[in-house]
């Protein structure tokens, strides 16, 4: 059984993308006796970004943790690192019971797309848990994982989002997370058959 350490930190790392970054960062954490509790990593436009929750057996000054990770920079690439003590018990807690949904939107790229959709969602107290946006030529694709309070009528939200999409020239879908996952798994398995 692995012991859960009490000293928890949030670690943010950015670098030019190349192989070996995760290995270098986790080696630096392990050298301090730390444990990786959770992480999320992506590459956008050739830039690697990583956010981690790290626990330590003893308190470590956040700047020391950041310095150790910076020193681990690999392939001559410098890591930009931010570390801070985590306040895990003070995270966002929805005021109402929520269900997870996925929003997908795509259409001709234009300024203000993310702002328009995110303002609408914020006005409905809908939390964006994960967000991905990418421009390919003239087209922009937006995919978000949302926590939707159960007090909302999903058909009404879908209608509002579709109307906003039409005003912007976008196709918009709002699906329960389970439906989205099942639909995309079917598409993937059908493509490999």
What are the extents of the domains in the chain?
7-90, 98-191
Architecture of domain 7-90: 2-Layer Sandwich (3.30)
Name the pTM for this structure: 0.73
Equal CATH topology for 7-90 and 98-191? yes
Strand segments, DSSP code E, in 67-157 are 80-85, 98-108, 127-136, 139-149
d(CA 113, CA 6): 41
Angle (nearest 5°) at CA 100 between 98 and 102: 140
Tell me the HSE value of 19 on the side-chain side, using a 13 A CA sphere: 0
* Distances 85 to 34, 103, 123, 152, 182 between C-alpha atoms, Å: 13, 32, 30, 35, 38
Write down the CATH number for the domain with range 98-191.
Answer: 3.30.70.260
Tens of each residue's pLDDT in the chain, 193 residues: 344 678 999 999 999 999 999 999 999 999 999 999 999 999 988 999 999 999 999 999 999 999 999 998 766 678 999 999 997 555 556 577 889 999 999 999 999 999 999 999 999 999 999 999 999 999 999 999 999 999 999 999 999 999 999 999 999 999 998 877 777 765 555 555 5
């Amino acid at each position: 059984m692995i012991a859960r350490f009490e000293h928890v930190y949030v670690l943010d790392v950015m670098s030019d993308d190349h192989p070996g970054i995760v290995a270098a960062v986790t080696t630096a954490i392990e050298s301090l006796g730390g444990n990786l509790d959770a992480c999320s990593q992506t590459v956008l436009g050739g830039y690697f970004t990583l956010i981690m929750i790290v626990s330590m057996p003893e308190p470590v000054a956040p700047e020391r943790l950041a310095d150790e990770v910076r020193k681990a920079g690999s392939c001559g690439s410098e890591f930009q690192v931010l570390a801070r003590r985590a306040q895990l018990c003070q995270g966002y807690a929805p005021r109402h019971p929520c269900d997870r949904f996925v929003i997908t939107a795509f259409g001709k790229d234009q300024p203000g797309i993310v702002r328009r959709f995110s303002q609408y969602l914020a006005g409905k107290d809908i939390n964006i848990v994960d967000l991905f946006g990418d421009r390919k030529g003239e087209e922009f694709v937006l995919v978000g994982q949302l926590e939707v309070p159960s007090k909302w009528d999903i058909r009404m939200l879908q209608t509002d989002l579709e109307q906003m999409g039409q005003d912007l020239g976008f196709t918009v879908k709002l699906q329960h997370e389970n439906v989205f996952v099942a639909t995309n798994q079917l598409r993937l398995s059908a493509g490999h058959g």
